[in-house]
Structure 1
Amino acid sequence: MVCKSGMAAFIFFFFFFLIILIESGFSYDIPTGESDCSNRWIHIRRLPSRFNLDLLTNCSEYHIYDDFCPYLLNHGLGSKTHNHSHSWYRTDPFMLELVFHRRMLEYPCLTQDPNLANAIYLPYYAALDALKYLYGPEINSSSEHGLELYSYLRSDAAEIWDRYMGHDHFLVMARPAWDFSQPLNMDPPLWGTSFLELPEFYNVTALVLESRAWSWQEQAVPYPTSFHPSNSHLLESWLKRVRRSRRSTLMLFAGGGGIGATPNIRRSIRNECEYSTTDDDGASANEQICYIVDCSNGICEHDPIRFMKPMLQANFCLEPPGDTPTRRSTFDAILAGCIPVFFEEQSAISQYGWHLPPELYDEFSVFIPKEDVVFKELKIVDVLQSIPDAKVRKMREKVIELIPRLMYRRHGSTLGLKTTKDAFDIAIDATLERISSRLQDVSFR
């Protein structure tokens, strides 16, 4: 077993080696169809290691927070689910900054000259750096999160920032935006840091796991699942398995909560599942109405085996909000070909517009207002059973069609898979478009 400090050191030095290659002029082969880099050039801003790689060496420091050392393996994908796995990893979604950084190093249109770049990528591990404010010794100084980075950007090669005052910069923040939205000068401090409230960073595009309803700075990108294929064959094999899977469960809920007395959507789901049987509600003898995968206390978070098989056997996956509106489970469900059922718009339809355009939701998902379920006694099972089988099959095909664009393929993937745009590719393309549009709308002296 690799010791925690050794694991962090290994990742540090491997990343350091790659960064040196990039900065020395090394470049990856540009995939077929990607040879035109017009308006797609990105410069990776060189930051001191205290803003990224040094943070990995503290992976076991935050005792209240889960030890994240095991999830640093494979550049943030985590360890494989088993020794012979080719595509499945124990991925922690909060490692997205690390995953993104690794993928950026093989982006085909990198330039060492920031003056030629259409966008500037900041390889700052914001969510990891936030831990010292959320769980560590600087919890009462959370309004200062980001100020050290801004000071560096303004003092070292300030002309890079000053050219567009940060409008051309972007970074990844692997937590919900709410975790970075504490009002400035809040006394006593509430949960979170104030990074997104700092005027210094108003112009920067932040890719987050969940955005706010009034987002100006941030854009939500998909949560990483545990599936990271490295070639087209592995992807196609999984898609075939999803299509062949026998769906013997009407609806499934994988999650925790809903056990208290307070009325809420999770409690309603649990009650409905508890009282559903194969003898009522019009279910056939071979169909189970509802199945619950109990994921209390985070036991499912790094163990996809617990929930992927049940999801493969379900027609619909229920995606109620929890502490925040969005859930990683939404993307696990889609990966399994399970049609997601949403209960509030902030759970998806107003979040992931780059990857899941709003006009597509009726084609691959079901929306049931949570108020109708909790307070008006609307039965979820009645809504789902009223959907014709032909429409269910059509919706599932749309879900399967979405899988490639929502997954994060493994770094170093084969050329064939690189021609299929994944969640990273779509995020980069849309970020470049967003920055281009913003620069056209803003006048610079």
Structure 2
Amino acid sequence: MKVAFKNGIALIVFLLSLGFAKDGIIELEGYLNGRSSANFLKQTKNVKFVLPPGTQAKIQDTKKFNSGNYGLKVEVTSGPRKGESVWVYYRTSDPGMKIFENAEAAKKEQEIKDVEKASLAQTTREHEVIREPAAVQKKAEKVLKPQLKPLSKAEPEKKLALEDAEETVHRVNEANIAVQKHGKPGGPCAECELEKTYATDSVPQEEKITVFSAKPSQDAPLIIPPLRTQNPYGIRPTSCRTSSGDIDYCTFEGDSQPGKFKFRNRGPNKIVSAGDSARSREWEFKFEGNARQDLGFSISDMPNGTISQTQESYFMVFPRKTVPTVRTIGDRQIVTLPTGETVTFDAKSKQVIGGVMSEDGALTSGGKTLQPAKVAYHGNGVLVRVDARGDEPRLKADTATITKQGKTCKVPAKKLWPDRSERSSVHFKYFSDSDFDSFLKSACGFGL
């Protein structure tokens, strides 16, 4: 039988009677951080991954905090993280999970849910409750409420399912209010032990339905969500191989899969003129460790073989929804940016021919002054750019330029890449999109 807790008193009764027994089962009702230790302070960087709603796990250990809330060490028993052990946070006022006495009770609950799901298959669709926009919410009410009419006693299962649908609408209303109240920077949970993942940065994309309103000239994106939020690695060498379409795929030492790909426009064309044999423009798209933190791309304009005259530019686009990908279709190469937007290149020349980036001028002839690539971003997200001559711009640039749909802001580059040492791993400071959004609002007056 399911044991549900509505307040702290019920939790205490459960603790006394079952002691969060090791055979107890939890089922998440929202997204929760899975941490490597029982430290839930916001500034602690110990989040291993995010567990989606519906995840079940077996209780292994508990820890009580002075606040009256609890940390639960659990072994995940369902989903892609099955078999892994993490700590999750149990807030007595808002648990975010169901608790069952044992696996048998959880199984019975699942059987009931399966019946309800089958009954509603043709009229409803499961959505992430805390993210339903108002328009979708109203649509759900229109679809569901006409179904909630009196039923005969011969249809108990259907009645149960439809009552659950009505409850879903009610939960959507409550969840939207909760997000408006608690989901903003500086809200009442700013210093909580648990950072509940209302922000888009911490929610696995495979658990969401992503809809892009692409321009007619754009190609459909290829979405592959990052596997982790924070990049745990330091400096690592890479080995590269060239595939069809003159695309180099590079794998970082210790990894089994590539962490970046690159290709080069060697000219002659309107971007790279004829002349020095070393003259070229190279595009490089990076996703080391398959982590959200360092998703970015760079352009290296090489007017000649002199490294000190190479014009280096590094870009990041937000929000970060996917690792960069590339695919070739006929005479086009389509790159999906971290925002899910696309840039289309001519497969042979490697010139930009469509999408949210444009090349607005030819590669410069070099020299001792900074002459960065003349490219522009026309997408709906936020672009961060740093430029340098003959060196890594994330370490050498004094200023980073941030733009969003005509708005421009300049900030010290060290605010974004704080480690400026020669041996820096150049990790972006804000591996969380929500934290970067807060920074943008305070520094630039606009957010993601």
TM-score interval, smaller chain? under 0.3
Higher Rg: 2
- Asked which structure has the greater RCO (Cα within 8 Å, sep 6+), the reply is 1
TM (normalized to structure 1)? 0.27
Q: Determine which structure has the larger strand proportion and give its number.
A: 2
Higher share of residues assigned helix:
1
